[in-house]
Chains A and B, each alone.
Chain A
């Protein structure tokens, strides 16, 4: 599939990775994805409370190779209750935020538990519902401190560096911020979730711009969860409550809107395997391919160095990958 946006940009759908299951080469109710070294992808899964082993980080690559997983539900070291986001440090370490335990857990690239930090509170350096995270190029970690309605910057070791924002609707204020990302210039983009908008800040937290309002029209959002920026400055937003992804230029002007183009993944084909009942059931649905294409609660988005846009399709347990061709 090729999407020709009104502004002349061209996007090609490339591949779908994933399938739905609690363990093994699969995802279940994924929350976030992060790009690691050597084109590795880390996907954080929440699943349900009873599915203890499903609270995990999956490690895979673009060749659809499943490289392993780590974590489970619980309060012990290396475990999660309400795991929210995953972020890969430039040195390869993997950081996971837990909005219930108010802590950041640190793992090696292969998933060995290395440490944790974080405590509940509202003072600078304390956390209340840590949500999205992203590493800056210098190795500092930005956290959308959800229920404190602010952004906080820490060293990778957990030392508080700086903070900005407060609860509200004004410029630089937040209402349950969720996803956070940085562009090539180091500017910070935040999915200001309950304000239905994206805000952009300079690296030191100065407000630069905002766009979006509540609704389901072009340029409007229903609880946007995440944001990413490509090398041209174009901005991709997972418009979670509207089951779509929207694209904006660097000024925040609407460019394009995607409702999904997924196809049956390799892992999915393996899951269906020789189960003829599943194949027959699929064949009985007249618009199966169209149904299968669509996003359902896309929740996280990242862009890699080759302008591949990876959309974590939250309630379909898969990643839809697009590439910007021009």
Chain B
């Protein structure tokens, strides 16, 4: 089993999930890369998330009354799932087809939307768009409940074309108006107030009397289009294929500029985007097929894109918790961890705008960087954590007792991570300053654990650790 194989598998698991332990990487390498991809692409073959236990312990968080527990519910799932790509894809769609509770003000309805995204995450994009158009949270977020026959509200119609399918430059203002007309009458049923007995689920409602049934011209086609006709047209557009493909490249392969820059900035790897766009069209918009093409492609495996993405705050938090094996089973405090990701710039279920989060380098500023480093350092330095203990035991078993060997071992076990020579030399010097490593006595074993935690903390502060 070569280090190159381990590195490639680690790359896959960082992108298709939230990272993996050395033991998991070795198991997966032994199983084979393509077999691992298939396992990830078919999450239903893995054990389901133990939702009942989460409900028992995080009582009231499922379809929560408030936002923090609803966010915590999803974070708990991301940390403890055995189906990492399912959650990563759900996070991807949440980042693109986003809805924010700040406007919806109905957390359980936003959670229902997340479940819808999860249900469709590796399915057919047309079907996803169909349910998204009927999703009460989206109907509120993009004002389609205010889109009436004879008095259109263009918000949903515009963002459907601009941010969810084709992208700017591929449609006209008239197309926006005509699409909006087609979605008149798509709303939600009246629902009870929060008080006195908590929230009720929201339901989609189609009001034929409020629907503009007149003839429309959309993207050069004429007809008495309803919303589903618009979706049928947009989903097959080559522009939609390229747009979704570029989003996938940006999320899973390497950082791209923000969406508003796309009309003016060519993709980092145009050939890769074309491959993904072709897979989208040829498969009939089947996202499992597209993701299979992505993960098995040369452009994904290429070392130039390893660590070519700045970790999102959710990746930092979830990846670190999985690394140290904390919150694998429910325990108090999960809501506060959501806030930690918020300090780093990403509050799930509450993106800053319909454009979602500005990712890549914009995740990093002086405040967020210190939050990221402190969060990770606090956890990897806790030598009582099972995942940290595994690292300590592995280093001991492999007799990584010289300073360079010890540092390299730590880097292998948290990544594998390749850091600059200057940073590596500093880590080695730090270890040497502490004197020889040994595990002969109880005191030495305790000191070995403490020093391992300290080096892991320093690794968390390296530039390289901030990349996925």
A223 to chain B: closest residue by CB: B52
Residue pair A29, B59 in contact (C-beta under 8 Å): yes
Contacts A20-B198, A223-B52 given; indicate if A46 touches B59 (C-beta within 8 A). yes
Could you tell me if B57 and A82 are in contact, using CB atoms closer than 8 angstroms?
Answer: yes
Partner of B60, one of A48, A268, A288: A48
**Do the beta carbons of B332 and A271 come within 8 Å of each other?**
no
B residues in contact with A19, CB < 8 Å = 195-197
B68 part of interface (Cβ distance < 8 Å)? yes
Interface residues of A, dominant DSSP:
loop
On chain B, the residues within 8 Å of A262 by CB distance are 197
Restricting to A264-295, which residues have a CB under 8 Å from any CB of B? 264-265, 267-269, 271-272, 277-278, 281-282, 284-286, 288, 291-292
- CB-contacts of A32-89 with B (<8 A): 46-50, 81-82
Bound-state Cα–Cα, A96 to B143, Å: 47
Look across to chain B and name the residue whose beta carbon is closest to the beta carbon of A277.
B193
- Give Cα A100–Cα B334 distance, bound, in whole angstroms: 14
Nearest-neighbor residue (CB-CB) of B66 within chain A: A48
What A residues does B224 contact at CB under 8 A? Answer: none
Check if B270 is an interface residue, CB within 8 A of chain A: no
Contact pattern, B 50-82, Cβ under 8 Å of A = 1, otherwise 0:
001101110111011110110010000000000
Could you tell me the distance between the alpha carbons of A218 and B66 in the complex, rounded to whole angstroms? 33
Tell yes or no: B200 within 8 A of A by CB: yes
Scan B181-192; emit 1 where CB is below 8 A from any A CB, else 0.
000000001111
Chain B residues with Cβ below 8 Å from A288 are 192
The B interface, classified by DSSP as helix, strand, loop or mixed, is: loop
Contacts of B333 in A (CB 8 A): 49
* Contact, CB under 8 Å: A278 / B190: no
* Interface residues on chain A, number (Cβ under 8 Å): 45
B426 at the interface (CB under 8 A from A): no
Check if A49 sits within 8 Å of B68, measured CB to CB. Answer: yes
- B331 is an interface residue with CB less than 8 A from chain A: yes
CA distance A281 to B193 in the complex (A): 6
Instruction: Find B198's partner among A46, A264, A272, A315 (CB 8 Å cutoff).
Output: A315
The one of A50, A82, A271 in contact with B195, judged by C-beta atoms closer than 8 angstroms, is A271
Please name all residues of chain B whose beta carbon is closer than 8 Å to the beta carbon of A28 when the two chains form the complex.
65
Q: Tell me, yes or no, whether B336 is within 8 Å of chain A by CB.
A: yes
Knowing A100-B331, A291-B200, say if A193 contacts B56 (CB, 8 Å): yes
The answer to whether the Cβ of B335 comes within 8 Å of any Cβ in the partner chain is yes
Bound state CA distance, A296 and B61, in angstroms? 14
Residues of B334-350 at the interface with A, using a CB-CB cut-off of 8 Å, are 334-336
Residue in contact with A286 in the complex, picked from B64, B190, B200, CB distance below 8 Å: B190
With an 8 A cutoff between CB atoms, is A176 at the interface? yes
Q: How far is the CA of A316 from the CA of B65 in the complex (A)?
A: 10
Q: Total interface residues on B, using CB and 8 Å?
A: 32
Report if A256 contacts B (CB, 8 A).
no
A residues near B194, Cβ cutoff 8 Å: 20
Q: In the bound complex, do residue B69 and residue A278 qualify as a contact, i.e. CB atoms below 8 Å apart?
A: no
Q: How many A-B residue pairs have CB under 8 A?
A: 97
Q: In the complex, A29→B200 CA distance in Å?
A: 15
Residues B332 and A49 in contact, CB atoms below 8 Å apart: yes
- Partner of A292 from the list B72, B190, B192, B336 (CB cut-off 8 Å) is B192
CB of B47 to closest CB in A, whole Å: 15
CB contacts (< 8 Å) of A81 on chain B: these are: 332
Please tell me which one of the listed residues B61, B65, B192 contacts residue A285 in the complex, with CB atoms under 8 A apart.
Answer: B192
Q: Nearest B residue to A225 by beta-carbon distance?
A: B56
Which residues of chain A are within 8 angstroms of B60 by Cβ–Cβ distance? 29, 46-48, 314-315
Task: Kindly state the separation between the CA atoms of A324 and B63 in the bound complex, as whole angstroms.
Answer: 33
Closest Cβ of chain A to B104, distance in Å, is 16
Q: Is A241 an interface residue (CB 8 A)?
A: yes
Contact yes or no, B192 A282, CB < 8 A: yes
CB distance from A83 to the nearest CB of B (A): 10
| Min CB–CB distance A74 → chain B (angstroms) | 11
Contacts of B332 in A (CB 8 A): 49, 81-82, 100
In the complex, which residues of chain B have a beta carbon less than 8 angstroms from the beta carbon of A284? 190
Residue of A nearest to B63 (CB): A315
Q: Is A317 an interface residue (CB 8 A)?
A: yes
| Complex Cα gap A283–B30 (Å) | 63
- Interface hub of B65, B68, B195, B197 (most chain A Cβ within 10 A): B197
Q: Which residues of B contact A292 (CB under 8 A)?
A: 192, 197
In the bound assembly, the distance between CA atoms of A78 and B247 in angstroms comes to: 52
- Say whether A272 contacts B200, CB under 8 Å: no
Nearest Cβ distance between residue A279 and chain B, in whole angstroms? 9
Return 19 A-B CB contacts under 8 Å, by A number. A20-B197, A48-B60, A48-B61, A49-B69, A49-B72, A50-B68, A81-B332, A176-B53, A268-B196, A269-B196, A272-B195, A278-B195, A285-B190, A285-B191, A292-B192, A296-B198, A315-B60, A315-B63, A315-B198
Chain A residues in contact with chain B, CB under 8 A? Answer: 19-21, 28-29, 31, 46-50, 81-82, 99-100, 176, 178, 193-194, 223, 241, 262, 264-265, 267-269, 271-272, 277-278, 281-282, 284-286, 288, 291-292, 296, 314-318
Knowing that A21-B195, A223-B52, A281-B193 touch, tell me 4 more A-B residue pairs with CB under 8 angstroms: A46-B60, A81-B332, A194-B52, A292-B192
> Which 9 pairs between the two chains have the least Cβ-Cβ distance?
A268-B196, A29-B60, A19-B196, A284-B190, A316-B197, A271-B196, A278-B193, A281-B193, A48-B69
